[in-house]
Amino acid sequence: MSSPNQLNEVNGLVDRANCLVKPPGGALACMVNSEIGAVLAVMRRNVRWGVQYASDDEQIEHSLIMSFKELRKNIFSWQNHWHTIDPVLYLQPFLDIIKSDETGAPITGVALSSVYKILNLQILDSETVNVDNALHLIVDAVTSCRFEVTDPASEEVVLMKILQVLLACMKNKASISLNNHHVCSIVNTCFRIVHQASSKSELLQRISRHTMHELVRCIFSHLPDLDDKSHELAHGSKSSPNAEDNVAEPSHTLQDKQDVDAYTSAESDSKKDDSTHVKDSTSTADSSMMDPYGVPCMVEIFHFLCSLLNVMENIEVGPRSNPIAYHEDVPLFALGLINSAIELGGASFGNHPKLLALIQDELFYNLMQFGLSMSPLILSTVCSIVLNLYHHLRTKLKLQLEAFISTVLLRIAESKHGASYQQQEVAMEALIDFCRQPMFVTELYANYDCDISCSNVFEGLANLLSRSAFPVNSPLSAMNTLALDGLIVLLHGMAERVGHDSSGPGEASLELQEFKPFWTLRCHDYDEPLHWVPFVHNMKNLKRMLMTGVDHFNRDPKKGLEFLQGLHLLPDKLDPRSVACIFRYTMGLDKNLIGDFLGGHDEFSVLVLHEFARTFDFQDMNLDTALRIFLETFRLPGESQKIQRVVEAFAESYFEQSSDILVNKDAALLLSYSLILLNTDQHNSQVKKKMSEEDFIRNNRNINGGNDLPRDFLSELYHSISENEIRMVPDQGGASGILTRSHWLGLTHKAKQTSPYIVSDSGSHLDYDMFAILSGPAIAAISVVFDHAEQDYVLQSCIDGYLAIAKLSASYNFGEVLDDLVVSLCKFTTLLHPSFNERSILYFGDDIKAKMATIAVFTIANRYSDHIRSGWRNILDCILSLQKIGLLPARLASDATDELEPPSSDNDQVKTSASHSPPSQVPPATPARKSSGIMSRFSLLLSYDSEEPAPQPSEEQLAARQRTLQAIQNCHIDTIFAESKFLQADSLLQLVRALVMAAGRPLKGNNNSLEDEETAVFCLELLIAITLNNRDRIMLLWQNVYEYIANVVQSTVMPSSLVEKAVFGLLRICQRLLPYKENLTDELLKSLQLVLKLDARVADAYCEQITQEVMHLVKGNAMQIRSHMGWRTIISLLSITARHPEASEAGFETLSYIMSDGAHLSPANYVLCANAARQFAESRVGNVERSVRSLDLMSGSVICLVTWFYQTKEAAGEEAAIKMSEDILEMWMRLVQALRKVCTDHREEVRNHAITLLQRCLTGVDGIRIPTDLWLQCFDLVIFTLLDELPEMSNQLSPKDYRFIEGSMILSIKLMSKVFLQSLRDLSLSNSFCQLWLKVLGCMERYMNMRFRGRRSEKIHELVPELLKNTLLVMKTSGILVPSDPVGGDSFWELTWLHVQKIAPSVQLEVFPGEELEKLQENRAKSGCSPLSEGNVLVPPNETTA
């Protein structure tokens, strides 16, 4: 026997069958002839087949040999028309040998080889004549093969060749001609050989099992090609749903011999053998078995394969039991065959109701049982089958999949019910395989977590994976990493779906407005996401509320129902139907409490009970099955009266729906009671004498309306109860871990009423809700694993998980989750550890975990910065740690930072030269960026605690440093701040607040180290850079930025880098933002008032630089500054510089820029600029020339006043024009007053220039109509005041300075005369003209009599009479000064000459010669009038001088 060759032949069968080509006729004849010769040669070796002698001594050949010889005569005559020859003609002799019980194993083996050769060479095909009959004959012959066993080896050869031939029949192209009966016979025969091979060689065992697998694959691969309607098994063989009816009739197609039989070893096990054989034609007369093979045979075969698993049916399964350890080989073999069938049949199983029913009920029940076994190998196979079923048939297996995942996989993975570590691993791997299916998680959540009648499977899975990832007081185990992989798979799946038609959060209104029977709600279209997504969101919200009500009910049923009413889950007025449906369809209710409520004696409870019973569908259901399903939903109360009420309600409902055998509900009631008593009798250990079948039948006589029930009916009920207990204490959600038949029946019944299975597309419809459940536990689990992990691949998995969570958090706006994630990651960077310092550079580069965490933190900060809130604090803490040891890029905050350097190179030189001075006197230079000195810091690091010169770093240390720098470079920290202008408003605000908080820490204490100040400066740089980058959203940030800078400015009393950065940063912010934010101009300029609040020492130190910045600001933004408040701030800063030696030049340049040619003068800044110019004119810091230039600026500004006055005519409205005119006159008055103050300057050149310009301003305003009152005010406040101050000033001067003041007095008296004469016309009309004139005369008199050091001024003595004469002549010419008579007092004429006499008596005759005077007096007397008004004529008698 050539066993290896046989095995090779089996394994190579498929390849050869596919590649061989049908030979020509002549070659076929030769082949058949050679096979005839081979058979005859073996037969002749046995003397039995040589010659037989008849009674008459004639030699007679055996009929078997004769048939071969006859065939040999004919084959060569067929070679030209071989295709027309019936194959039965050349196959029959071989088949006769196979069926003969006279042939031995060698002869039978050769005949089988010949048939195999003919089949394998594809001589037979679908076009061959009578091929169907030929194949039928081959199958019949081989399945009824008979031979004598002479030795075990030859027996095994024949068995292997039988397997070869049967498999070749199924793989032949003509196999479609086989009928269902023959296919079942083939499978039956092969399985018998498999069964018998257990006592044979290993080779036969393997070949037989392999052949069985090939047969199943070959048969079920045909299923997808079948037409559902034409091959439906509507008229096929029937299979009973009960386990005891699943046993097929024994098959006798493979018979035993009377001699030595190949199967005698199995006689002792014939009962079990018979129970596992496929039904064939001897046990059914169904005509469908004679049809070409299709669904009927597949149903029989699949049912047969499922029946192989029934070994678990009557074996108690418990936490510690191992029921199949004694022989796990059989179920493994059966499970493998089932898996092969499902793999090839695929979704086509769902098109055939009987096949689907087998999967839904019997197969899945057995899979559940074997899943709870103690064998990891069986569990693994079961999981593979269920995964295939999920892939192909999940829409048909909704509740079955839920039960398997929750009852088997989740519980084993949680190590419940004594599961071994190996089982946990298998279950966990299976769960992860499920999670890897594209939409498994989404469908899990939609179909179970969002279904009120199902458990929260996804939530349980998420919790399991999270808990299992936690290492418990030990290093990471394989289970921990498996669970981590599962979490990562879930997160990655959601992350990949981000943006794929996401429907967003499903948070509908959590309060129902009115009651609706939610258990009747159905989606309009379960295939369209636009319909089912809102539906499941709504159902999930209902379920959440319902679960809250369940908790209340389980504590107090009455209050629980009231609570559900408050949620509008029950009507305001309770009705029995609604309460019954709550009990029936709500998960999690305490079944003991339901039983007590249903058994209540009050009317409402009874009504609820009957409504509850009517919610069940008992159509076409056996009584025991219906009773099992009914009692599975609650615990039957212990009181007899309650039991009676419950059973009565059940019996009534059952009779209404299934009245085929029972004639009335009393019969149903009595029989139900009898079944409950039988159940107690059979399964209560305290009952010693068990009821027999006859006792049960006898006890139920005459209960069916006075008649007996059918004996078979009662017998079936008896065996069902005896073999499968009705559990009176139903499992609370499967907590016991034992799957009972009653529970399974309840599940299959529930499956008929459950909502359709929702198949999700690739959209992220429910990911928001799922992520809300998963995110918190996932972060905690990944963080713990990351903390304990050592292997790089585990660390990388954790990082991948972190990034996936970050992506999901950002996509679904889970800001708090993202912040928690950042906090967790920052802890692993080691950057926040108090001991992190320069020494840490050496270790950070080699710390894989720290580097990965650091890169991850900043990757998240760059990618998802829009959604970070409080996490910015932790990120900034990491950045500050890197900054302290000099590991940050040189330019962190983009190009905005460059502008924050000191404003001028000259200033840098000054500060450098003064760097050795005490800090209290000179501000310290801004510290250089640390990143530029990394190597020097490194050398310093190595020199710590050593008095010797610092050694050079080693190559290892340099390499570690390089790795660290590379890691930090990969973080792209600078991008965070450079791209801050794209941040969402909330995130940006939180970033700024975090920076303010980080920068503000040094300000809280008094003993601030240099390092703390450097940190504050660094934060301030970033803060200012962010502010500049976000100029379009400045108001969002401004309050925080301004408050911090104000805090720095007002709390600093000595020059420092921090206050320097704050002040110049503020100035630069204004410079950059003023051109773009006109509406914020006042707010920005107002902030510059902080500079005015600087401590004197600080202000003095930075005055020049501040002024330079103000100059740049004004030159760049003068057009944008329009408000008085803004200009007041600017001019105040410039005014301060007037007396500062270094800053005054820049200050005056800025003021000149504003005032020159009136370029930027406006009513808003005119008075401010005039006063500032006065201060520069009065300042002695600069030279006289600058004072003169300042005065020129003041004088030149009058042109602006004239221009504005002309513009008042164009003003809209009279009131507006009047207001503008008044403002302009007020400005003019302020200008001349400012000039008057400079007119008393001690420097002659300045003083005289001021007087000259004052005269120009008073006389050069022709374009401005100055009212008389203002002129009077001007004389009082400006001219007369000046004339009064100059003499006083002269008394304070030394004799040598007298000559200088004399010139000024001359100029001022001329000024008075000219102004008076110019405004004489207007003044003469005033009621106060007389008083003004007397004051003018008084001033002249006083100056005429003035003496300096006892000496009279000759120049003034000469000038005053001349000025007086000119004035009088003008007044005479104008008709103002004419003779008049006094009426009640001195007249204007008399008063004038009275004062003139005191000044220069000769002037009167020069002005009015005698003749002219007399003539005037006569004329005036005749007219009797005076040129002046009454008020100007008279003055009080005692007031003769001004």
Give me the active site residues, please: 639
* Structure tokens belonging to residue 945: 């605690």
Q: Which residues pair with 707 in a beta bridge?
A: 704
- Residue 1083: phi and psi, rounded to 5, are -65, -40
Is 1013 in contact with 1058 (CB distance < 8 Å)?
yes
Long-range contacts of 938-945 (CB under 8 A, 24+ apart): 938/838, 938/841, 940/838, 941/838, 941/839, 941/841, 941/842, 944/839
Looking only at the bridges linking them, the beta strands covering 1351-1352 and 1347-1348 are antiparallel
Residue in the structure block whose two tokens are 């005053």: 1360
Residue in the structure block whose two tokens are 């060479």: 121
* Structure tokens belonging to residue 507: 């948070």
**Nearest alpha-carbon partner for 1369 in 1412, 1415, 1324, 1403:** 1403
- Residue 1348: phi and psi, rounded to 5, are -115, 110
Query: Which residues are CB-contacts of 215 (< 8 A; sequence separation ≥ 6)?
Result: 166, 167, 170, 186, 187, 190
Q: What's the rounded Cα separation, in Å, for the pair 1418 and 1407? A: 18
* Structure tokens belonging to residue 82: 């071989």
Dihedral over Cα of 1386, 1387, 1388, 1393: its sign:
negative
DSSP 25-63: HHHHHHHHHHHHHHHHHHHHTSGGGT-EE-TTS-EE--H
**Nearest alpha-carbon partner for 340 in 216, 429, 225, 462:** 216
Q: What's the rounded Cα separation, in Å, for the pair 600 and 610? A: 12
Convert 103-149 into a string of H (helix), E (strand) and C (coil). CEHHHHHHHHHHHHHHHHCCCCCCCCCCHHHHHHHHHHHHHCCCCEC
* Structure tokens belonging to residue 849: 């975990």
Q: What's the rounded Cα separation, in Å, for the pair 1278 and 1280? A: 6
- Residue 124: phi and psi, rounded to 5, are -95, 135
* Structure tokens belonging to residue 763: 């959209």
501: left (phi over 0), alpha (psi -120 to 50) or beta: left
How many other C-beta atoms can be found within 10 angstroms of the C-beta atom of residue 735? 11
Query: Which residues are CB-contacts of 418 (< 8 A; sequence separation ≥ 6)?
Result: 319, 320
* Structure tokens belonging to residue 1229: 């008055």
Q: What's the rounded Cα separation, in Å, for the pair 100 and 1396? A: 175
Looking only at the bridges linking them, the beta strands covering 1347-1348 and 59-60 are unpaired
How many other C-beta atoms can be found within 10 angstroms of the C-beta atom of residue 551? 11
- Residue 844: phi and psi, rounded to 5, are -60, -40
Is 1061 in contact with 897 (CB distance < 8 Å)?
no
Instruction: Fill in the DSSP letter of residue 702.
Output: T
Is 310 in contact with 333 (CB distance < 8 Å)?
no
Is 143 in contact with 185 (CB distance < 8 Å)?
yes
How many other C-beta atoms can be found within 10 angstroms of the C-beta atom of residue 1053? 13
